[in-house]
Amino acid sequence: MSPNVAVAAFIGGGCWYSDPMQTRDRTDLVLLASIWGASYLFMRMSSAEFGPVALIAARVVIAALVLLPFFLRQSRTAVALQHWRQLLVVGAMNCALPFCLIAYSTLHLSAGLAGVINASAPLFGAIIASVWLGEHLDGSRRVGLFIGFLGVMVLAWPTANTAPNSSTLAVLAALLAAACYGWGASYTRRHASHIDTLTAVTGSMLGASLVLLPFAVFMWPTTAISVSSWLAVIGLGAVCTGLAYLLYFRLISRIGPSGAISVTYLVPAFAVLWGMLFLGETITTSMVVGSVIILSGTALATGAMRLPATKSKT
């Protein structure tokens, strides 16, 4: 999942659009979901050779290089320098840290399972926004939170019971990454919502690069990295991060943040699909059931879906 999907959910949570979604928009939405779903595939393919920190350092540097020409063409440098502190925080806590945690989780979990667990980010976002920003959670959204985390339990329980401790830690890492995205949403809404999207994303990628590069120098693999892993990290940085954001910007401009955020519900399906097709991963019953429960709970918790109102007796 994109680090700014959860952010956009809260920045644009009150937005709406009057025009019906066109065929081109639906196509872009599915394309974006398929690209972000592939990020779990690429991390699964390359995290073992690179290691989580080196992999993510390469990812954010490549993404920044893809975004920089568009950023510079729109003369956003002065804005970025003015808000460098906020961008550095977002880069560290909403990109560098959760990306590394997800990369670690893919060392021990399937790409599909990591993608499905990450779909819980809006659930954490709703809780943190309620506590930090005082956002009201009505009955429908509270039920959604309960349902969503029940789905996480359905996914995590078989792994915790039957898998080695490393897999249990990987599940916790994926959940912590989702919580980071939730925190990042509230931080952005409170401290950086006035920064335009292109500056926020490019600046956060640059910030993440500055944070990770010193660690990556010391943690860079000492053995040769295969061509397939290099291709995976280039795809991860250039396509799944840099180009995906540009596509996301276009969607926001055409259908609004509240329409673009619906990509959240499609990403896990593609993460599972790519893992099955290219890595031979197995789709388990708990994954299917957990996915349905998590996405249903997320839809309720974020207000995309509501429980039917009960009529009071007179």
Q: What is the pLDDT of residues 248-269, one digit of tens each?
A: 888 877 877 666 767 878 888 8
Give domain status of residue 148, yes or no: yes
Average pLDDT of the segment spanning 72-96: 94
The residue behind tokens 């460098």 is 84
pLDDT at 105: 95
pLDDT at 17: 38
Average pLDDT of the segment spanning 226-254: 92
Average pLDDT of the segment spanning 65-92: 94
Determine what percent of the chain is predicted with pLDDT higher than 90. 52
Number of domains the chain is built from: 1
Residue 21 three-state SS = coil
Mean per-residue pLDDT over the chain, rounded: 86
Contact between 114 and 102 under an 8 Å Cβ cutoff? The reply is yes
Domain limits for position 233: 3-15+22-301
pLDDT at 19: 46
Q: How far apart are CA 171 and CA 101, in angstroms?
A: 10
Give domain status of residue 314, yes or no: no
Closest C-alpha to 302, from 87, 104, 138, 110? 138
Residue 171 has, within 13 A of its CA and on its CB side, a CA count of: 17
Q: How far apart are CA 132 and CA 218, in angstroms?
A: 36
Give domain status of residue 235, yes or no: yes
Roughly how many angstroms between the first and final C-alpha of the chain, as a whole number? 47
Residue 281 three-state SS = coil
pLDDT above 60 (res 126): yes
Give domain status of residue 307, yes or no: no
The residue behind tokens 């490019």 is 202
pLDDT at 16: 34
pLDDT at 168: 85
Determine what percent of the chain is predicted with pLDDT higher than 70. 88
Average pLDDT of the segment spanning 152-162: 72
Contact between 188 and 46 under an 8 Å Cβ cutoff? The reply is no
Sign (positive or negative) of CA dihedral 239, 232, 125, 91: negative
Dig out the tokens for 32 from the structure. 């974006």
pLDDT at 162: 58
pLDDT above 90 (res 36): yes
pLDDT above 50 (res 223): yes
pLDDT greater at residue 314 or residue 210: 210
Q: How far apart are CA 217 and CA 219, in angstroms?
A: 6
Helix ranges, the chain (H): 3-11, 23-50, 52-73, 77-82, 84-91, 97-105, 111-118, 121-132, 139-162, 165-187, 197-219, 227-234, 244-255, 257-260, 267-279, 285-301
DSSP for 132-151, written as a single string: HS-----HHHHHHHHHHHHH
pTM: 0.88
Contact between 297 and 149 under an 8 Å Cβ cutoff? The reply is yes
User: Residue 281's pLDDT band (boundaries 50, 70, 90)?
Assistant: very high
The DSSP element (H or E) to which 283 belongs, if any, is none
Contact between 140 and 306 under an 8 Å Cβ cutoff? The reply is yes
Give domain status of residue 312, yes or no: no
Give domain status of residue 308, yes or no: no
Q: How far apart are CA 308 and CA 314, in angstroms?
A: 19
Give domain status of residue 11, yes or no: yes
pLDDT at 12: 39
Give domain status of residue 309, yes or no: no
User: Residue 41's pLDDT band (boundaries 50, 70, 90)?
Assistant: very high
Q: How far apart are CA 71 and CA 69, in angstroms?
A: 5
Tell how far CA 77 is from the center of its chain. Answer: 26
Helix ranges, 188-284 (H): 197-219, 227-234, 244-255, 257-260, 267-279
